[in-house]
């Protein structure tokens, strides 16, 4: 509006109209705003030219009517902008829902008999037992390895948003998948995030049930805490859901066989390294080359493998990346940012080697990489 442009530097005029707006805002918004788009016979026609709109605005005597006209003009132009230039949230949501339903693989994980769905399962165990226990939940050769959306490794830096996201994935209905969601080291969450974790969980489940809301009644959620931290906020808050997992002397052996099966390269499936005709070198998608001391030839082994691959697979687009892990505390974001440079399409079979160079002074870590041939 020209009159607004003319008076935008007039503080007294702006203050006067701001006070009028504040005084009448609630009643105006309740009684006269049209949020659903479209025009009625009582509304101003926004097919008018700017000059006609300005003249109509000047002829309005009531401040309420002027506020309504300002809003309707703005809303009309904004609606046109959104529909022409952007996708609204409803369309985006429907699109994402359609993509989710079109997934070729539907994950159907089953819980062990001693554990219960539809409730959080608090597992208190030694720190060294936590990862094997977690992986044992996914020990099903018919189902894929757990992905980043199913497991959250908690630290003191973990945010409330990260915790809320995994809770939402676990309890909200609508997904065709039946996944198992785990929070590892939940006792390491700082106090504020721990409180929000408890609040968010009960809000999404119990409150939704009481108020007639929607949540997935058979969700599968596990919270792992160090047994030494039994007085932590999370362990105390979810103590009523504590579960006892029986000892299994063969657990590590079973997990080893499970990972061996999942990382094995099928002789019937063509990969980016098939042309090398060295099946002994590429029977597994992952190799761990280790020694008790430095200078024993680990990097030389990888270098020779890379040289052979570069010579014979250059036309296939062979690439490799060495990622050195030097810090005592690993930040997953740093690793992911380097891997994202080599992101492929799902059906691509690009021969590629990722070399994680870990000196003996750094603790060994586990990292899963999907949709690629890697070492």
Q: Is residue 35 part of a domain?
A: no
Instruction: Say yes or no to pLDDT of 120 above 80.
Output: yes
Return the pLDDT at 277. Answer: 59
Whether residue 114 lies inside any domain: the answer is no
| Lookup result for tokens 């016979």 | 41
Q: What are 228-257's pLDDT values in tens digits?
A: 998 999 999 999 999 988 888 888 888 888
Q: Do 241 and 304 fall into the same domain?
A: no
**Arithmetic mean of pLDDT, 220-232:** 93
- Domain enclosing residue 53, as ranges: 48-102
Percent of all residues in the chain with a pLDDT value above 90, rounded to a whole number: 21
pLDDT digits (tens, 9 = 90+) for 301-327: 888 888 888 888 877 788 888 888 777
Give yes or no: residues 245 and 132 share one domain. yes
SS3 labels along 116-170: CCCCEEEEEECHHHHHHHHHHCCCCCCCCCCCCCCEEECCCCCCHHHHHHHHHHH
Residue 344, in any domain of the structure? yes
Q: Residue 113 domain-assigned?
A: no
Q: Is position 274 within any domain?
A: yes
Are 173 and 234 part of one and the same domain? yes
| CATH (domain of 135) | 3.40.50
Indicate whether 74 and 169 sit together in one domain.
Answer: no
Query: Where among 203, 218, 251 does a domain terminate?
Result: 251
pLDDT of 212 > 60? The answer is no
| pTM (predicted TM-score) | 0.66
Q: Are residues 315 and 199 in the same domain?
A: no
192 with 152, same domain: the answer is yes
Determine, yes or no, domain membership for 209: yes
Contacts of 205 (CB under 8 A, 6+ apart): 171, 215
Q: How big is the CA angle at 96 (ends 150 and 78), to the nearest 5 degrees? A: 130
Same domain, yes or no, for 144 and 206?
yes
Q: pLDDT of 160-175, one tens digit each?
A: 999 999 999 999 887 8
Supply 329's token pair: 């505390």
Q: How far is CA 275 from CA 14, 180, 270, 288, 319, in A?
A: 74, 38, 9, 23, 15
Is residue 129 a part of any domain in this protein? yes
Give the Å distances, CA to CA, from 161 to 167, 192, 230: 10, 12, 24
Q: Count of domains in the chain?
A: 3
Phi (first) and psi of residue 57, to 5 degrees: -65, -45
Together in a domain, 188 and 155: yes
Are both 87 and 151 inside the same structural domain?
A: no
Both 313 and 278 in one domain: the answer is: yes
Q: Is residue 128 located within the same domain as residue 217?
A: yes
In a domain? residue 77:
yes
Residue 125 and residue 81 in one domain: no
């Amino acid at each position: 509006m020209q009159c607004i442009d003319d008076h935008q530097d007039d503080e007294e005029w702006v203050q006067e109209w701001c006070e009028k707006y504040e005084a009448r805002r609630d009643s105006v918004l309740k009684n006269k705003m049209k949020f659903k788009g479209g025009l009625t016979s009582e509304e101003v026609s926004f097919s008018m030219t700017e000059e006609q709109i300005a003249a109509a605005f000047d002829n309005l005597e009531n401040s309420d009517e002027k506020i309504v006209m300002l809003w309707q003009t703005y809303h009309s132009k904004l609606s046109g902008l959104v529909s022409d230039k952007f996708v609204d949230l409803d369309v985006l949501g429907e699109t994402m829902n359609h993509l989710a339903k079109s997934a070729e693989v539907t994950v159907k994980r089953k819980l062990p008999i001693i554990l219960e769905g539809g409730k959080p399962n608090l597992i208190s165990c030694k720190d060294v037992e936590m990862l094997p226990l977690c992986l044992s939940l996914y020990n099903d050769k018919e189902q894929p390895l757990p992905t980043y959306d199913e497991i959250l490794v908690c630290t003191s830096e973990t945010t409330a948003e990260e915790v809320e996201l995994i809770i939402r994935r676990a309890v909200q209905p609508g997904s065709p998948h039946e996944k198992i969601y785990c929070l590892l080291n939940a006792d390491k969450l700082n106090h504020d995030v721990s409180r929000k974790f408890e609040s968010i969980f009960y809000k999404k489940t119990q409150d939704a049930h009481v108020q007639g809301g929607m949540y997935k009644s058979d969700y599968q959620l596990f919270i792992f805490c160090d047994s030494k931290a039994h007085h932590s906020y999370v362990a105390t808050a979810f103590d009523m859901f504590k579960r006892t997992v029986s000892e299994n002397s063969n657990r590590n052996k079973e997990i080893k066989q499970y990972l061996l099966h999942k990382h094995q390269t099928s002789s019937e499936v063509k990969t980016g390294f098939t042309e090398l005709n060295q099946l002994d070198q590429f029977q597994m998608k992952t190799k761990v080359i280790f020694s008790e001391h430095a200078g024993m030839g680990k990097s030389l082994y990888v270098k020779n493998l890379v040289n052979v691959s570069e010579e014979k697979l250059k036309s296939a687009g062979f690439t490799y990346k060495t990622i050195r892990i030097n810090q005592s505390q690993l930040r997953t974001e740093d690793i992911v940012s380097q891997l994202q440079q080599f992101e492929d399409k799902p059906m691509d079979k690009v021969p590629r080697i990722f070399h994680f160079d870990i000196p003996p002074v750094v603790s060994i870590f586990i990292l899963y990489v999907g949709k690629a041939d890697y070492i």
